[in-house]
Amino acid sequence: MNLAKVEKSTWIYLAISLLLVIVPFIVTGRSMQFIIIQFFIFAIFAMSYDILLGYTGIISFGHVMFFGIGAYSTAIVMNRFDSTILSFILAIIIAIILAAIVSLIVGMLTLRLKSHFYAMLTLALAGLFLVGAEKWRSLTGGNDGFTFSLPEILRDSQSLYMLCLLSLVLIFFGLRRLTKSPFGRVLMAIRENEKRTESLGYKIVHYKVIASVVAGVVASFAGVLYSISLRFVNTSVFATDMTIDVLLMTIIGGVGTLIGPIIGAGLVEFAHHWLSSLADVHWIFERWIILYGIVYILVVIFFPLGIVGTIQKKFFNRQNYQKKKQQNPRRKLDEGRKEDEDELYRNG
Amino acid sequence: MMSSLLRLNQVEAFIQKFHILHDISFEVPKGEVTVLLGRNGAGKTTTLRTIMGLNKVSKGSINFQGEEIGNLLTHRIANKGIGFVPEEQGIFGELTVGENMRVAMKKEDEQTTKRMEWVLDLFPDLKKFWKKPGGALSGGQKQMLAIARAYVNENELLLIDEPSKGLAPIIVDKVTESIQQMKEQTTILLVEQNFLMASKIGKKFYIIDDGRTVHSGQMDELKEDKVLMKKYLGIS
């Protein structure tokens, strides 16, 4: 591997990851560590949603079903078997396989539909999983849920922190690689214009189904981590609120950027914690979902590209401006004139 | 005599409930540039979209290299060796120029790399703005990118829809020149309203009016036929 060819951003992300490794040695408070762990888990979940929404242009209101599948698979396996590492690995495998099968079936049945029909159908399917979890009490414990035990190593908050951080870093770099591959380019082309992509010779349903499976599997893995972080599961892991949260994280951070959903997850998680702690100050902070709604509206109006998208655009414009400044003034004038002519002609 | 690469026979097509193509029949000889002419709304773009499978053929047949393609899906038609440059450039605005080119490449072999180099020499602006988003290019550059993208694969036939639309005359000249260079290597079916451009590039023409092919002949003859030009193209 040629290190000189590694992108500068990769080094930055690696440096941040290393900094995060030392955080639990500095932040020793269990509640703060727990919040950071939740942030890592939701960052993974939000990245999985970004593959659908940001890279492929698929709007799903039922993405939470994969998160729930992961959470319940782990909880049920750990509840029924001995709490060993082997059981945990088995739980992960089952969670991934189940999510892959469900996302494959859902994708094949629904991704031929127009986007709004797909969104509504996924919402209905997620509802079906929620009702199933409520009614199948012998397996899921219904609304009350159930607790389960974990192997010794996963009960330690520092080990759990490291596991979640490692998962986040590996999944981030894995998905980044995927989105920069020829496959990722096709997904982005589909997002922009399906017909145009099809006329280049791509069977778009295949690509959308693969994206749906990848997103489903990653979301399921986030669900695995979520259930072990709580050592408890109930039907809230299938609630639509979770999808709304993850949609919010992705849009606030910036769709189609991967790093955006991570930042969005961080902001939403920490804001949630901070606003809830202000409940004693004013009742409005108990209803933090209202504040989320306001933030969401403001972001959509003022930062339609999200935080990362807006920064990237500003950075790109600045780079362009500097490049133009460096160019020969005479040449710049000619080019500008040609562009103006073109623009004038187009606008009649 | 040249063999036909593409043959449409009494093709009819609808867009939703509207009957747009009533009777389209023409042939595209291999190695030549065939031009579809006609007024706005005559059905030229719909014809190209129907060939690409973006509109369904309700009646008639479309034969490409001896094979019926009228009932195939769009991606299968594209993979048979038909490249499509849609109207209004049809590039991916959020992808960079490089990504636009790469996404169009069906394979990354030596032959495709050579074609890529050739086309980038033809349109040096694309090389210059390789990392710039397609949407940030000027109208002319977008058109060049759209043509280059279709050309980068070894397609047997290129369908080009109004490449001069909305472009300044100086850019139209550049696009004309590039299509002239491409016609040495591939067969082209061109839809064009700019008669001057069409007459420079095309050899054979078909006039479409109200979803029907109403006239055909050699481009040189059409230039002399003022009555026909006025009747169907509104050029006096």
Domains of chain B: 4-89+158-233 (3.40.50.300)
- The number of distinct structural domains making up chain A is 2
pLDDT tens for residues B139-197? 888 888 998 888 888 889 999 998 888 778 888 888 888 888 888 888 999 998 888 88
User: B138, B155, B160: which to substitute to probe chain A, counting the most A Cβ within 10 Å?
Assistant: B138
Of A313-322, B20-29, B213-222, the least confident: A313-322
Verify that A316 and A299 share a domain, yes or no: no
Average pLDDT, chain B: 87
Q: What is the CATH number of the domain that holds A122?
A: 1.10.3470
Q: What is the 8-class DSSP label of residue A327?
A: S
Residues A134 and A249 in one domain: yes
Same-domain pairing of A261 and A345: no
Question: Based on the domain organization, do A216 and A328 belong to the same domain?
Answer: no
Residues A269 and A192 in one domain: yes
The pLDDT of B186-215, averaged and rounded, is 89
pLDDT at residue B110, as a whole number: 84
Interchain contact B128–A (C-beta under 8 A):
no
Q: According to the model, what pLDDT value does residue A336 have?
A: 46
What letter would DSSP give residue A113?
S
Both tokens assigned to A152: 């010794």
Give the mean model confidence (pLDDT) for residues B63-91.
Answer: 90
Residues of B in contact with A186 (CB under 8 A): 103
Q: A105-139 burial, b if ≥16 CB within 10 A, otherwise e?
A: ebbeebbeeeeeebbebbbebbbebbebbeeeeee
Where residue B74 falls among pLDDT bands split at 50, 70, 90? very high
B136 chain-A contacts, CB cut-off 8 A: 320
In terms of residue numbers, what domain contains A180? 3-304
> Is A219 found in the same domain as A169?
yes
Give the pLDDT of residue A321. 60
* Phi-psi domain of A97 (left: phi exceeds 0; alpha: psi -120 through 50; beta: other): alpha
The separation between CA A337 and the C-alpha centre of its own chain, rounded to angstroms, equals 44
Chosen domain end from A273, A288, A304: A304
Same-domain check for residues A94 and A229: yes
Quickly list DSSP for chain B. Answer: -PPEEEEEEEEEEEETTEEEEEEEEEEEETTSEEEEE--TTSSHHHHHHHHTTSS-EEEEEEEETTEE-TTS-HHHHHHTTEEEE-TT----TTSBHHHHHHHH-S--SHHHHHHHHHHHHH-HHHHHTTTSBGGGS-HHHHHHHHHHHHHSS--SEEEEE-TTTT--HHHHHHHHHHHHHHTTTSEEEEE-S-HHHHHHH-SEEEEEETTEEEEEEEHHHHHH-HHHIIIII---
Contacts of A198 in chain B (CB under 8 A): 54, 73-75, 78
**Contacting residues for B160 by C-beta, under 8 A, at least 6 apart:** B85, B147, B150, B179, B188, B189, B190, B191
| Closest by Cα among B88, B82, B77 to B145 | B88
**What's the pLDDT tens digit per position in A136-152?**
999 998 889 999 999 98
Q: Are residues A130 and A211 in the same domain?
A: yes
Residues A87 and A231 placed together within one structural domain of the fold? yes
Whether residues A110 and A215 share a domain: the answer is: yes
B90: contact with A, CB 8 A cutoff: yes
Of A199, A320, A345, the CB nearest to B52: A199
Task: Examine the domain organization and report whether A211 and A342 are in the same domain.
Answer: no
Which residues of chain A are under the pLDDT cut of 50?
A: 329-348
pLDDT one-digit tens code per residue, A264-302: 999 988 888 888 777 777 777 777 777 777 877 888 888
The 3-state DSSP class for residue A146 equals strand
pTM: 0.85
How many angstroms separate the CA atoms of A122 and A338, rounded? 49
Would you call B104 and A338 a contact, using CB atoms and an 8 Å cutoff? Answer: no
The rounded radius of gyration (Å) of the Cα atoms in chain A is 22
Which of B79, B99, B106 lies nearest to residue A185, judging by beta carbons?
A: B99
pLDDT at res. B181: 84
Q: Is the pLDDT of residue B219 over 90?
A: no
* Predicted confidence (pLDDT) per residue in A106-118, tens digit: 888 887 777 778 8
Tell me the three state secondary structure of residue A287. helix
Are A96 and A190 contained in the same domain?
A: yes
pLDDT at position A97: 97
